[in-house]
Amino acid sequence: MRSVKTWLSTDQVAGAICSAKQYYPLETGGLLFGYRVAPREFVINTISLAGPSATRTATSYTPDYSYDEDFALRQFALCGYDSIYLGDWHSHPGAQRAYLSRKDRAALKNIANSDVARLPSPLCMILNGKDSDWDYRLWVGEIARALFGLQFLVTVRSEIKEY
């Protein structure tokens, strides 16, 4: 996969970091919305926070699916589908680096294969840190096919451009 560039608002990221700090040492997360500028260039214009029924533990985050669906419908109504679902974000509290776990890679593969999401190259933003020291990275996944039609997920770290 070639290089990827993602534009995002520092205010939006600050909201996600604030949520990660609030729930530390538990994971939390949300959704990423925006649009594609080019095949390998995205703009994230909205980062949602977890719904009230989300489940958080020290090593996992399960979204409030009903809340996320309602949020997505409101987002689409506000933006006239100019802002689409691009992927998810979640925190890895206490982690030294913002890398994808095996579960994160499986989630990206499920999204990329989903007929509902219709998103062949989903994004995943991982926040890592503790206290006031938080960092983040953006990843994009894409399904590749090997011999005999076997599927595997290719991931690449996105270059981040803040605005």
- Structural tokens at position 101: 């776990």
Q: Which residues pair with 50 in a beta bridge?
A: none
Domain containing residue 120: 5-162
User: SS3 helix, strand, coil % of the chain, rounded to 5?
Assistant: 25, 40, 30
What CATH number did the domain enclosing 140 receive?
Answer: 3.40.140.10
pLDDT for the residue numbered 162: 93
pLDDT digits (tens, 9 = 90+) for 118-146: 889 999 999 999 988 999 999 999 999 87
Tokens of 118: 């219709």
The domain total for the chain is: 1
- Cross-sheet strand order for the sheet of 151-157: 151-157, 133-145, 123-130, 84-93, 29-38, 41-47, 5-8, 159-162
pLDDT tens, position by position, 67-103: 999 999 999 898 877 889 999 999 999 999 999 999 9
Sign, Cα dihedral of 16, 50, 86, 124: positive
pLDDT at 151: 87
Give pLDDT, residue 126: 98
Backbone angles phi, psi at 33, to 5 degrees: -125, 155
Q: What is the pLDDT of residue 1?
A: 58
pLDDT of residue 148 exceeding 70: yes
Q: What is the pLDDT of residue 82?
A: 80
What type of residue is 121? S
pTM of the shown model: 0.94
> Which residues are 123's β-sheet partners?
87, 140
Q: Does the structure show a pLDDT above 80 at 161? A: yes
Percent share of the chain, pLDDT over 90 = 81
Q: What pLDDT digit, counting tens, does each position of 96-115 carry?
A: 999 999 999 999 999 999 98
CB 68 within 8 A of CB 88: no
For residues 137 and 150, the answer to whether their CB atoms sit within 8 Å is no
